[in-house]
Amino acid sequence: MPFPLKHKPPFGILARTRPGKVGAIARSIMQRRRTAAALLLLGATLMAGCAPMLFGAAAVGTAATVHDRRPANVILDDQQIELEAMTALLRNPDVRDRSQISVTSYNRTLLLTGNADTTEVGQEAAALMSRIGKVQRVVDEVTVGPRLDMTRQAEDTYITGRVKTDLIGVRLPGFDPTRVKVVTNDGVVFLMGLVSPAEADAAAEKASYVPGVKRVVKLFEYVDDNNA
């Protein structure tokens, strides 16, 4: 292990090292280097395996605003609503300390997902959301129960990414996967968006086949098939 340059090397210690230990130290250093190299190779392999999904998610995200059926001002409203919603939850100690709630706004419909310690806490969170300007509807999907651990949250993140990727494979004329908002909580997938009834059914069916999905909830707003 190299010593900091601002200190003098402890030559006295090195001078007292017995010759028999030099070979052992060298072998130990080589073993550590081989282990580090193996870990780096494993990491590179895993990253390479994840690349297609990461690329697909990035492509979907970039195209989303281009093909969005929401007017530009509504997209901005949704972003502002989410910011105000999170701020309201964090500023309320009863809700903040006794729940794990996520907020998603689409076309001014505000979806609440997650867990709360009691029914009253969940209801209080929903009441806070209803007071936010420009919110037209609050969908309360908060359940009473313990907070999700990191493993479960990671599984939900994977499911969301997998659903988004699989939606690219929907074979329906005019279907655009970027128009579907995907939210996952404890294996339950919520789908939002401005879509036609046929598009909604196709998206829900595709999501239902993703491993780990317990249930699919359609929260779509529908447009005419002829104008889709």
Write down the domain spans for the chain. Answer: 66-227
* Domain spanning 66-227: CATH 3.30.1340.30: yes
Choice among 4-18, 63-77, 192-206 with the minimum mean pLDDT: 4-18
pLDDT tens digits for range 167-222 = 999 999 999 999 999 999 999 999 999 999 999 999 999 999 999 999 999 999 99
Query: What percent of the chain is predicted at pLDDT more than 90?
Result: 68
pLDDT tens digits for range 99-123 = 999 999 999 999 999 999 999 999 9
Contacts of 159 (CB under 8 A, 6+ apart): 184, 187, 189, 210, 212, 213
Distance CA 140, CA 116 (A): 12
